[in-house]
Amino acid sequence: MVQTVKNVEFNSSSPAEIMEATYKAIENFQIRAFFEAKEDILKHGKFSEEEFYEILDAMIDAETERKIVLNRLIGQEPLFLEEIAALIQNFPPENVIRDVIYLKEQGYVDELVEVKTHTEIKKIKGEEKEVEVKEYFYRYQAKTLPEDFKEHFFEPVSIVYESGACCNCGCCSSICPLDAITVTADTLEIDEKTCIKCGLCFSTCPRSFSIEQVYNAIKKLDKKLKFSEKMGGYIETYTASTKVEEIKKVRQDGGIVTTLLQYLLENDLVDAIIAVRHSKEPWKPEPVIVTEVKDLYKTAGTKYANSPSLTIIDKAREYPRIAVVGVPCMMKAIYKASLFLNGFSFLKNIKYTIGLFCMESFSYENTKKLIKEKFEKDINELTKMNIDKGKFIINLKSGEELAVPLKEVQSYARDTCHYCEDLTSDYADISVGSIGSQAGFSSVVIRSEAALKVFKGAIKAGLIEAKNLAEVKPGQFLVEKIASTKRTKCKPVQLAPSK
């Protein structure tokens, strides 16, 4: 289930403190921009008046809470996020943690990073070697602000796009109250005349500011979770395969994603699913809302071209309970939106997120080019594409299978994927990939109690066979190894200066 940071009562703060915090909160630029555009927003018709006030109330509550957190931080020495959460007990710890990071982005809080180095003995290519390991420690402290301090405002996400870091997930376009943002698989455009500069798009963008420290601190607080520096918080890991014959014909690996989605629909746990099917152009993904199992089968299988799937989360708002399938950047966008923008009804409707492992994706044009240049084939001849054991593999309608080393196709991948540190969709409820499992099986990382219930339910219903990932080779060792490589290679995002 998507972690929605709790809306809270302010009953443990004094009336004077709440009043002062609320007074300061309504000065916030996001709240002002959103409120001042009320007429335009209602005229546009995306939100009813009731929805408008629900979003506004949530924004004011979150900002008021932040101002109280800031007030309590003033005068404290630098502290770890966990220490701050223990110190400020007015609100649930996950709220305090997310607030500190947002306050940092607003310019109120400093992040102080300490690097400690130690040596460890590691086995490298069978040989034991002494290697230097760096550990990073993040502490936070309220800044001493000058008289003329102005709270930072968030630029529209064109700043991310212009920096080359936009992953085209499309979450910003769903969030925008005036639909001023158009996202396709390759482009992002903002209608400057319509944009109200509320910066809500920036708050949810997976590439705008980092929430890695929020994620780590929140997951480490949850004692039911194991925590891996390489693949995030999880309860259990499995290797699994579908038992549904129809799914075996269309699946990518173990068919686990499609089978779990079928289980969710058949057991009335969700009303709709956001997945990806082939568009009119084969292998060009098209995001789709699915409500019936027969349509679900058309979504199975991996399309290696990226899909702007989150452009349709607002279109699925009529369904009270939905599941979303996507790659890691999409999972992060949903998690970030649920942390910072909890007034949006269509975000609250997201009950389950299924994240795919993803090293990188390709633009559709480059996918076609890759097939032509590396295999001398036309994309229409393909029945499957796959990445396995360091090879890019294609299957053809003729029954032929061809492969080239993965290294040879890497130049076709999207540059923006190099800004992503996440292989295993750490921010999802369930993550599924092929790395670690044998052919016909998927590696499955269960990250929440609700997800575990669904997975076990699907096993009990005879839809899935599963073993612990530890029982197979290469198993979790390889998942963590490749996940660690992705973390190490990840480039930091440098946002373009505002014009």
Ligand X SMILES: Cc1cc2nc3c(=O)[nH]c(=O)nc-3n(C[C@H](O)[C@H](O)[C@H](O)COP(=O)(O)OP(=O)(O)OC[C@H]3O[C@@H](n4cnc5c(N)ncnc54)[C@H](O)[C@@H]3O)c2cc1C
Q: Which residues contact ligand X (rule: CB under 6 A)?
A: 251-258, 275-276, 285, 299-304, 306-307, 309, 325-327, 356-359, 361, 387, 432-435, 442
Least Å from the CB of residue 267 to ligand X: 17
Least Å from the CB of residue 479 to ligand X: 8
Token couple for 109? 């809080």
Contact 289, 311 (CB under 8 A): no
CB closer to ligand X out of 208 and 434: 434
Strand ranges, E, within 334-413:
350-356, 382-388, 391-396, 401-405
Least Å from the CB of residue 301 to ligand X: 5
How far is Cα 452 from Cα 446, in angstroms, rounded to an integer? 6
CB closer to ligand X out of 201 and 324: 324
Angle made by CA atoms 191, 192, 196, in degrees to the nearest 5: 105
CB closer to ligand X out of 95 and 311: 311
CB closer to ligand X out of 270 and 327: 327
CB closer to ligand X out of 59 and 240: 240
Least Å from the CB of residue 414 to ligand X: 9
Instruction: List strands edge to edge, sheet with 236-242.
Output: 285-290, 272-278, 322-326, 350-356, 430-433, 442-446, 236-242, 464-468
Token couple for 475? 């198993």
Least Å from the CB of residue 302 to ligand X: 4
Least Å from the CB of residue 327 to ligand X: 5
Instruction: Find how far residue 471's CA is from the centre of its chain.
Output: 29
Residue nearest to ligand X (CB): 433
Please choose, from the candidates 493, 328, 304, 282, the residue with its C-alpha nearest in 3D space to the C-alpha of residue 413: 304
DSSP secondary structure code for residue 413 in this structure: B
CB closer to ligand X out of 275 and 371: 275
Contacts of 172 (CB under 8 A, 6+ apart): 157, 181, 183, 188, 201, 202, 204, 205
CB closer to ligand X out of 32 and 389: 389
CB closer to ligand X out of 170 and 343: 170
Least Å from the CB of residue 330 to ligand X: 7
CB closer to ligand X out of 154 and 357: 357
Angle made by CA atoms 131, 133, 137, in degrees to the nearest 5: 175
Least Å from the CB of residue 311 to ligand X: 12
How far is Cα 360 from Cα 304, in angstroms, rounded to an integer? 8
272 φ, ψ (degrees, to nearest 5): -155, 160
Least Å from the CB of residue 363 to ligand X: 11
Least Å from the CB of residue 266 to ligand X: 15
Least Å from the CB of residue 272 to ligand X: 13
How far is Cα 192 from Cα 274, in angstroms, rounded to an integer? 29
Contacts of 56 (CB under 8 A, 6+ apart): 31, 34, 35, 343
How far is Cα 398 from Cα 376, in angstroms, rounded to an integer? 14
How far is Cα 311 from Cα 167, in angstroms, rounded to an integer? 12
CB closer to ligand X out of 101 and 312: 312
How far is Cα 467 from Cα 240, in angstroms, rounded to an integer? 6
Contacts of 197 (CB under 8 A, 6+ apart): 29, 33, 153, 156
Residues paired with residue 191 on neighbouring β-strands, in sequence order: none
How far is Cα 367 from Cα 382, in angstroms, rounded to an integer? 12
CB closer to ligand X out of 239 and 448: 239
